[in-house]
Structure 1
Amino acid sequence: MRYQAELGDVDFIRGDYLAEVNVAENAQAHAAGHHPGWEQTCWDGIEQTIYLLAEKRIKVVVNGGAHNLKGLAEKVQRLVSRKGLHLEVAYVSGDNLIEEMKDIRSKGLPPHLDSNNGEVQYANHTLDLMEKENKPIISANAYLGAVADTSPVIGAAWYWYSWSDTDYDRLAGALIVGHLIECSGYVTGSNFSGFTEYNLDHLYDITFGIADVEEHGTCVITKHDAKKGFITEDTVKCQFLYELQGNVYLNSDVKAIMDDVQAQRQEGKNRVRLLGIKGAPPPPTTKLAIFYNAGYQSEIVINATGYGTLEKFDLYERMIRFGLKRLGIHDQFDILEFRRIGIPESNPSSQLRSTTYLRILAESGDPKTNLGLASLLGEFAMQHFSGFHSTSDHHTAIPRPDISYYPAIYPQVQLKTSINILESSKSGTAIGTTSIPTTPPPRFEELTKCASYDTASSIPLESFGPTKPARIGDVVLARSGDKGANANIGFFVPTFLPTSYPPSSPLFAQSWGWLRSFLTIARLKEMMGESWDDAFYVERVEFPGIMAVHFVVYGVLGMGVSGSSRLDSFAKGMGDWLRDIVVEVPVAFLEGRRDHKTERQRL
């Protein structure tokens, strides 16, 4: 925060400090009195920057108040008073619905976020919150307009340009602007799949993105010249494709329709314009993130090296399952998984290249069941396969509380929200509050089934000439992320990598024709290989203006967020895994990229 204020001229600093997982983790600690309820890094940023905010008249819009917005706001107000600064402090309330959700057994469970999609199968245990006893809710927070996730940018631009609450195209443009700069340095080089073609020393100690929001909702994404990082069409495309729901981005204020999105490099360094976003009235519901105590979780990790690794893990799994059955607890787990991570290198040049591991994940409603599993580590300590070793602390086998996630929808008209403006007494000791109730959006538009299609005008793949086996990532970039139980993956033709062909090259347009024709729903399932399950459901859309094919894979993350048993529970690595899959790639595209490397490096 201090860098953004210190290094150049900005009107607003916005900050999104809340991932659903840390909301859940902190809720329980706050309720027990072990956590202040707000995000400490948010307070740190404000405290470090307070004099600059006052000097430069920079407005700050953040959601770091988390479970204790009032507490953080009052702490900031006391800081302002103590420093003798003339700054106003306010907070928004009404997102916390924990009291309304405590009686779900009598009132009913709110609809699931994916309930309007009849093709989606819920993961096992999704409805445990309702169907099983002893699953107490620990937090329930609704996404509010103009303050949640990407929305602070809507609030800032709305205020700056005095927009109407029905200026849907403008609001939608600002929503996607917020999406682009929401995730720290993700638009300035972090989490960028094209990083391997850049100087690695340019990819750390980076500053975050800045959005020059224009009156019609379009924007230019840029950054301070100081420090490292960079902004290109490719970093903007990567972040645009992160955690999308499809071609429509839902928000409490507006729906953003993104089919015609474009990213255009502007004159000057680190400047990319985003345009083409259309808007429509928001849905009548908003997202409600419910977290609850699902029971207890244990994790055991063991290593194996070299010869007979498959048989070693077979032996260990059989032994543990035998022990659990003898204790009479094998079938008492909600989840009991034996996941094999990695494959030992053939003819390894070192022991590390030969070592892989087995991850045992167990969840149950009774900690005694998990303790039974932990007891087997001692009982069978000297009955193991050859070369057995472990680098993990066996304390991870001791049961710890497991927090699970239920994503719901909630009617916007039932929210009771307000703006609360603080004011200190002359002595600075007492803090008064003026509360102003807010109202829901004036118009709603019912949700419709998400778009999904293979390309409308497929080009015969043989028309692109001879092919050879290559990783699809040799010619396309990707970005993936999580949306609850679902993963999104966007693939696109790079624009400005050192080895990509320039937009003036015929290969640039041809590569888009190939990508959209090649990367069908059926092809994605094929590429997922053993990770595909027929219980999953896929939606596919295209963004021609950025030459991107986008997928949502429903159910692949199980319960989602903290409730997912996947190693990559946020699906951040899914795009890079799929870029490593070998497919038949036209030779012309591979050779064309090499031919243009020298020219790109010069540019």
Structure 2
Amino acid sequence: MSSTSSRWSQRGQRPVRIANCSGARTDPGFHMRRQAERGDVDFITGDYLAEINLPINKIAMDKGEHDGWEFTCWDGIEQSIDLIAQKRIKIIVNGGALNPAGLAQKVQELINKKKYDLKAGYVTGDDITERTKDGLSKGKLPAHLDSENPDIKLNPLANALQDTKARPIITAHAYMGAKGIVTALENGADIVICGRCADASPVIAAAWYWHGWQNTDYDELAGSLVAGHLIECSAYACGANFAGFDQYDLDIFVDLPFPIAEVERDGTAIITKHDNTNGIVNADVLRCQFLYEIQGAIYLNSDVSADTTNVHFEDVGKDRARMSGVKGYPPPPTTKLAVFYDAGYQAQLLANVVGYATAQKWKLFEKQIRFGLKERGVIDKFDNLEFQIVGTPEPNPRSQLRSTTYCRIFAQSPTEEPCAHIKPCWDDFVMQHLHGLHWSLDMRTAEPRPYIAFYPGLIDQNDLDEVAHVISPDGTVKSVPAKLPSKYYHLERRINFDAEVDALNANQGPTKAVRLGDIALGRSGDKGANCNFGIFPKDPAIWPWFRAFMSRAKLQELIADDWRDEYFIERMEFPDIPAVHFVVYGILGRGVLASTLLDSLGKGFADYIRDKVIEVPVDVLSSMKTTNGTNGVH
């Protein structure tokens, strides 16, 4: 192990090793300690925030039941502080959530108690709740994130927050970049606590500070942005949420490590993990992670716009894969704004039936409930009332569970009353029920519960007040404003082009029915109301056919009964991966906490599409290299 002094004396002369320790509030604190103790790293970063944390924390804070910051972040620092001091590892985390100053003060108290020569810092400026409330009171609705795309039909309830009396604002936050973090580091901070910075911003800041980049070194910053995107999701870059997991020994996916990015001076990076740990890091894993939660070819951050059209992944050793090919441009003039508001009430009720005549049973069930709600005078008072049938009975089933499906009544209403009638209505008909009906043990979920909706907006970067604060051991705080970008990138409409059918027509001939997942890997995830879906062939040899096959029309066909005319598909190709990427606008409803879908974050969408049976030319299949002895087909 290299000495601490020699490692930091090499600052800017070698790649910086940045270890991620969290991708969500639920990741235990010991992951930070593990990243510090298992090998040499220069920085540990952590992303603790999602669209769920901030409003839930705010509601609890207002009741005096929450400190505003994430406990798992504090737990990680508390477990790791001795190693951090010993190895001089710098920490950058957004676990400060609603109260970065409070967590930073607590960290500095721990540092002082331990008598370490370290300083805690924090960044402010993301919380613009009062400004947003004031604007809405004057009728000024922030521009919607998708408002500049004329093809997008926003959910009818997307602008419901304009009724601030019925749906009051809880909290609103701008997604900050790396500028404030770098400013804190330059002014002596060793542990930087952020609020709602963008997921990749801690990694950008670490690489920016280490290599001494200028804010106009766009290619370098763009590379670090993609590196941050690759490692910020817990263990996703080490084999978690990996579509190809079934080709490996399952034991290696138990107790996964978290990833490390070795970011070069030019912004390229090797993604890896500590030695002698479970999991896998390879080009396929990184392809899947790259395709997760992006929208089009231009990845936007407050500090840089990354053109990922020619992104490339290459295996360069055991559990080491290189990322390159990213081009950078000035940042956009706006950044994302997340507004959370009380949306009303929602309720869920689950009922089960067994195989025979299942379709007719669920038709009768819905008729009974709708009749009862009409009799009670509330049938027209719901924002959403859905009867979602989950599962299909197995033909000639070998067990009762294989023959069982369930119906999920999911209701949302602006006031409590309509949702409050769901369970009483069920009670009215419980002894008039259809043949074989039974229900889940816990009926408490049928009671109305308040829920939160998320409005994704835009805010001008020049309107933000981003400030870095560094705490001295005596408690004094030095505050330094972060510098605004020197220029901005003119936002253009995102690239959207369809498949070229010539390559598909040139491969006509005998075909074989296979499941799409037998020949392709992929990943999907949410961005508010929209689902991102990337897919790529297991063998690049079939790319010419595959890119032609995966057209916008084909994806709509594969979506099948889940398709609605108000959705819109955007398509992009990444030829050096090679992969096709889609954004399906509107398919997640209002998204996040307000989505009516069982898979509200779109994480299962990729495998729904990969489970489809398609016809593939025999010549195309024969060109695939053997994959675990299956010739790519199961």
Q: 1:547 aligns with which of 554, 578, 592?
A: 578
Query: CA-to-partner distance for each residue in 1:124-169, whole Å, 9 max, x for gaps?
Result: 2111111474110101010001142111111011101110101110
Deviation at 1:591, TM superposition (A): 5.0
**Contact 2:149–2:493 under 8 Å retained in 1:** yes
In structure 2, the residue matched to 1:512 is 543
Q: 2:488 aligns with which of 414, 424, 444?
A: 444
Partner secondary structure for residue 478 of structure 2? strand
Deviation at 1:600, TM superposition (A): 11
In structure 2, the residue matched to 1:135 is 167
Cα distance in 2, alignment partners of residues 394 and 374 from structure 1: 8
1:85–1:324 distance in 2 versus 1, CA, 3 Å: same
Query: CA-to-partner distance for each residue in 1:150-193, whole Å, 9 max, x for gaps?
Result: 11111011101110101110000000000000101001100000
1:455–1:368 distance in 2 versus 1, CA, 3 Å: closer
Partner secondary structure for residue 496 of structure 2? coil
Q: 2:335 aligns with which of 282, 286, 307?
A: 286
In structure 1, the residue matched to 2:382 is 333
In structure 2, the residue matched to 1:342 is 391
1:596–1:310 distance in 2 versus 1, CA, 3 Å: closer
Deviation at 1:227, TM superposition (A): 2.0
Segment drifting more, 75-84 vs 100-109: 100-109
1:32–1:287 distance in 2 versus 1, CA, 3 Å: same
Map 1:67-146 → 2, pairs under 5 A: 67-103=98-134, 104-131=136-163, 133-146=165-178
Partner secondary structure for residue 52 of structure 2? helix
Q: 1:198 aligns with which of 248, 273, 281?
A: 248
In structure 2, the residue matched to 1:428 is none
Query: CA-to-partner distance for each residue in 1:76-112, whole Å, 9 max, x for gaps?
Result: 1111111111111000001001111112031511000
**Contact 1:151–1:175 under 8 Å retained in 2:** yes
In structure 1, the residue matched to 2:618 is 587
| Number of residue equivalences | 582
Q: 1:567 aligns with which of 598, 606, 617?
A: 598
Unaligned 5+ segments in structure 2 are: 1-31, 179-196
In structure 2, the residue matched to 1:432 is 476
Map 1:130-529 → 2, pairs under 5 A: 130-131=162-163, 133-146=165-178, 147-266=197-316, 268-425=317-474, 431-456=475-500, 458-463=502-507, 465-494=509-538, 508-509=540-541, 511-529=542-560
Query: CA-to-partner distance for each residue in 1:192-213, whole Å, 9 max, x for gaps?
Result: 0001111110112111110100
Cα distance in 1, alignment partners of residues 257 and 303 from structure 2: 29
Deviation at 1:21, TM superposition (A): 1.8
1:298–1:392 distance in 2 versus 1, CA, 3 Å: farther
Partner secondary structure for residue 432 of structure 2? coil
Segment drifting more, 268-277 vs 368-377: 368-377
Match for 1:139: what amino acid? T
Match for 2:308: what amino acid? M
Cα distance in 2, alignment partners of residues 272 and 492 from structure 1: 17
Match for 2:494: what amino acid? C
Deviation at 1:599, TM superposition (A): 11
Match for 1:240: what amino acid? F
Match for 1:9: what amino acid? D
Query: CA-to-partner distance for each residue in 1:403-458, whole Å, 9 max, x for gaps?
Result: 00100000100101100111233xxxxx3222111232111122110101023584
Cα distance in 2, alignment partners of residues 464 and 57 from structure 1: 61
In structure 1, the residue matched to 2:43 is 12
Partner secondary structure for residue 9 of structure 1? coil
Cα distance in 2, alignment partners of residues 10 and 202 from structure 1: 23
Match for 1:123: what amino acid? N
**Contact 2:247–2:628 under 8 Å retained in 1:** no
Unaligned 5+ segments in structure 1 are: 426-430, 495-500, 502-507
**Contact 1:206–1:229 under 8 Å retained in 2:** yes
The alignment's TM-score, normalised by the length of structure 1, stands at: 0.94
**Contact 2:155–2:586 under 8 Å retained in 1:** yes
**Contact 1:302–1:392 under 8 Å retained in 2:** no
Alignment RMSD (CA, Å): 1.7
Cα distance in 2, alignment partners of residues 206 and 14 from structure 1: 17
1:131–1:18 distance in 2 versus 1, CA, 3 Å: same
The alignment's TM-score, normalised by the length of structure 2, stands at: 0.89
**Contact 2:625–2:631 under 8 Å retained in 1:** no
Cα distance in 2, alignment partners of residues 484 and 444 from structure 1: 25
**Contact 1:475–1:589 under 8 Å retained in 2:** no
Cα distance in 2, alignment partners of residues 475 and 492 from structure 1: 9
Partner secondary structure for residue 450 of structure 2? strand
**Contact 2:236–2:242 under 8 Å retained in 1:** yes
